[in-house]
Amino acid sequence: MTKTIRLTASQAMVRYLSAQMNEDGTRFIAGCWAIFGHGNVAGLGEALHAAKDDFPTWRGQNEQTMAHTAIAYTKQLSRRRAMAVTSSIGPGATNMVTAAALAHVNRLPILLIPGDVFANRAPDPVLQQIEDFDDGTVSANDCFRPVSRYFDRIMRAEQLLTALPRAFAMMTDPANSGPVTLSFCQDVQAEAYDWPEAFFAPKVWRIRRPEPDMREVEDVAGLIRAAKRPVIVAGGGVIYSGAEVALGDFATRFNIPIIETQAGKSAVAQAHPMNLGASGVDGSAAANAAAEVADLVIGVGTRFQDFTTGSWSLFKAPGVRLVSVNVQPYDAGKHGAVSLVADAKAALEKLTAAIGSYKGVVDARARADWLAAVDAHCAAPKDGNALPTDAQVIGAVQRATGKDAIAMCAAGTMPGALKLLWQASERGYHMEYGFSCMGYEIAGAMGVKLAAPDREVICFVGDGSYMMANSELATAVMRRVPFTVVLTDNRGYGCINRLQRGTGSAGFNNLYIDSAVEDQPEIDYVGHAASMGAHAVKATGIADLEAQIAAARGRHIPSVIVIDTDPTNGPGFGKAGHWWDVAVPEVSDREQVRKARQAYEKAVKERA
């Protein structure tokens, strides 16, 4: 006879989460972030309270940002651990939809548990319930469907017997990993059921390493042997696979240069002789030059996003071929690529054996010239009275930090500048650029530090992103999670202002000075950060910034260093980079727009 235990559905969920393990003996779900409301406080809240000494619950300030913390945590740990996040129904749930989209784009596991309406529908409509006049099964949580890898609505307690194993199978699948949403009806959370005791037995989830089909290996090996100037595009899949060393060894053995995506940067250190730096729109002169003449482009763990490829105008050599090594067949087959569907590390090992003896071409001079240019771009300004560029800010932080520092960011000007200029050590770079989500930075920095407590974490954030989401700074203070925030104040959305002007438009509604406001704001970011308990200072210039970075290292709370930057001078790295397809209007009364349209049409024809 099957032994059972009587628990509520919420108690069963928490007990199950507590028993799902990694091979190293840690829990896959490290704990749960929670903001309680009427949709989850009585059911799941009570269950989490009962388990608090064993399965931790953390309080956040905003549903979206606490989910960002969880996402940054799993990203920094290469998807080997994850976190759960629960909210009430209504706005608490929909606040998490942006975070779910971020995790979906970046292929990162997170377990989202929004409360939902009553499954029995007796008290309908309940507070915050979305009613669809034509479909009685719809709730606000249906917003999660397109941004979840797996979605389920728990309308009976026993549905957890199948839903929870499916959720973990998805989160731990290297090809399909991503956000899981279990929409948990609030009455069901409190209902009891006789659960099989075996359901709660500890289970180890092994991250599979899919081996390649040897026919595909031979096809790709043949293409590499026949290539004269191949180049490797390193994506985030290298890091998720744990293939960093394998990639560096592969590139060295066959003398093939590596160019980096945002997600793949720091898979190999900038100091690696095969690393030519960033690719594409925000790419280095050395990397883009290698890409333009490459007759074979070998993507390893990359989605080939438009920034990486210069909107598919970067690879210009006649007859250039594309290879995609990816664990996800959907990615491996993009743009007519020759596919090698496999784990990155396994694929590189099999290719190494199959290629035999081969040597590509690396332009060491171009690499050296670019690194020298980086030093020049990032040097302290000679004019002590001029507002610094983002490049000069990056240089100051680079000089003031150790080799183990992790630079992290998400949106605005800094991601492109950091990808181009930050000289990362291995795994010394954390960028959310798949969704480029403003507001990720502060919460993400806390997640990175929780995942890597022994490393210095530097969060680069512009004033625009800071204003969007800064409240988890208070959480980091309360939990004594130290990291350093470098807040560059250019008085508005400087990055988009430059893009706006670059497409011929007038400055409009991006910088405060170009917005319809009665008075220009004078925001005291130092006072604001200090009011949440952080140590906050205003750097008087680049030299002071370096000193403040060093001083922050010994603190046990977050430090916020504000520095004014020039909103018009741009990142400050000259003509590096590549064309990006941003459509310009065909019709306009403005001469600047008409000229920009002519340039745009010319670039589109050149791509074709």
In this structure, the number of other CB atoms found within 10 A of the CB of residue 479 comes to 15
Listed in sequence order, the residues at least 6 apart from 360 whose beta carbon sits closer than 8 Å to its beta carbon are 227, 228, 229, 230, 254, 255, 256, 257
- What percentage of the chain exceeds 70 in pLDDT? 99
**In this structure, is residue 601 part of a structural domain?**
yes
Burial label for 161, CB within 10 Å (0-12, 13-18, 19+), is middle
Q: If you average pLDDT over residues 294-319, what whole number do you get?
A: 95
Query: Do 396 and 511 fall within a single domain?
Result: yes
Distance CA 82, CA 298 (A): 30
Q: In what order do the strands lie in the sheet with 429-431?
A: 429-431, 406-409, 457-462, 484-489, 559-564, 535-538
Query: Do 524 and 503 fall within a single domain?
Result: yes
Asked whether the predicted pLDDT for residue 485 surpasses 60, the reply is yes
DSSP labels for 459-481?
EEEEHHHHHHS-THHHHHHHHT-
The pLDDT mean for the chain works out to 95
Asked whether the predicted pLDDT for residue 74 surpasses 90, the reply is yes
Query: Do 441 and 517 fall within a single domain?
Result: yes
* Model confidence band, residue 583 (pLDDT cutoffs 50, 70, 90): very high
pLDDT in tens, 528-564: 999 999 999 999 999 999 999 999 998 999 999 999 9
- Residue with the two structure tokens 């997600």: 263
Model pLDDT, residue 573:
65
Last residue of a domain, one of 164, 181, 204: 204
Distance CA 122, CA 81 (A): 39
The residues pairing with 189 across neighbouring beta strands, listed in sequence order, are none
Model pLDDT, residue 575:
61
Distance CA 534, CA 537 (A): 10
Q: Could you give the maximum distance between any two Cα atoms of the chain, in Å?
A: 82
pLDDT in tens, 211-228: 999 999 999 999 999 999
* Model confidence band, residue 507 (pLDDT cutoffs 50, 70, 90): confident
Model pLDDT, residue 580:
87
**In this structure, is residue 195 part of a structural domain?**
yes
* Model confidence band, residue 131 (pLDDT cutoffs 50, 70, 90): very high
Domain that holds residue 605: 582-608
In Å, how far from its chain's centre is CA 194? 41
Number of domains in the chain: 4
**In this structure, is residue 549 part of a structural domain?**
yes
HEC secondary structure over 484-526: EEEEEECCECHHHHHHHHHCCCCCCCCEHHHCCCCCCCCCCHH
Q: Please give the DSSP secondary-structure letter assigned to residue 536.
A: E
Q: Are 487 and 584 in contact (CB under 8 A)?
A: no
Model pLDDT, residue 582:
92
Asked whether the predicted pLDDT for residue 568 surpasses 80, the reply is no
pLDDT in tens, 331-370: 999 999 999 999 999 999 999 999 999 999 999 999 999 9
* Model confidence band, residue 569 (pLDDT cutoffs 50, 70, 90): low
* Model confidence band, residue 579 (pLDDT cutoffs 50, 70, 90): confident
Residue 363 tokens read as 């332009």
- What percentage of the chain exceeds 90 in pLDDT? 89
**In this structure, is residue 577 part of a structural domain?**
no
Short-list 59, 20, 21, CA closest to 41: 59
**In this structure, is residue 523 part of a structural domain?**
yes
Query: Do 228 and 193 fall within a single domain?
Result: no
Query: Do 286 and 326 fall within a single domain?
Result: yes
What's the CATH code of the domain at 551?
A: 3.40.50.970
Alpha helices (runs of H) in 184-269, residue ranges in sequence order: 186-190, 214-226, 236-241, 244-254
Query: Do 200 and 219 fall within a single domain?
Result: no
Asked whether the predicted pLDDT for residue 474 surpasses 80, the reply is yes
Q: Are 363 and 227 in contact (CB under 8 A)?
A: no
* Amino acid making up residue 202: P
Query: Do 181 and 309 fall within a single domain?
Result: no
Query: Do 87 and 58 fall within a single domain?
Result: yes
Query: Do 246 and 128 fall within a single domain?
Result: no
Query: Do 220 and 197 fall within a single domain?
Result: no
Q: If you average pLDDT over residues 2-25, what whole number do you get?
A: 97
Residue 69 tokens read as 């913390």
**Pairing relationship of beta strands 110-116 and 179-185 according to DSSP bridges:** parallel
Q: For residue 375, give the 3-state DSSP assignment.
A: helix
Model pLDDT, residue 416:
92
- Residue with the two structure tokens 């393990």: 21
**In this structure, is residue 570 part of a structural domain?**
no
Query: Do 229 and 355 fall within a single domain?
Result: yes
Query: Do 330 and 280 fall within a single domain?
Result: yes
Asked whether the predicted pLDDT for residue 572 surpasses 60, the reply is no
Last residue of a domain, one of 335, 366, 397: 366
**In this structure, is residue 243 part of a structural domain?**
yes
**In this structure, is residue 373 part of a structural domain?**
no
What's the CATH code of the domain at 257?
A: 3.40.50.1220
Q: Are 599 and 608 in contact (CB under 8 A)?
A: no
Residue 472 tokens read as 């988890």
Model pLDDT, residue 51:
98
Asked whether the predicted pLDDT for residue 96 surpasses 80, the reply is yes
CA distance readout (Å), 505 to 588, 589, 591:
10, 11, 10
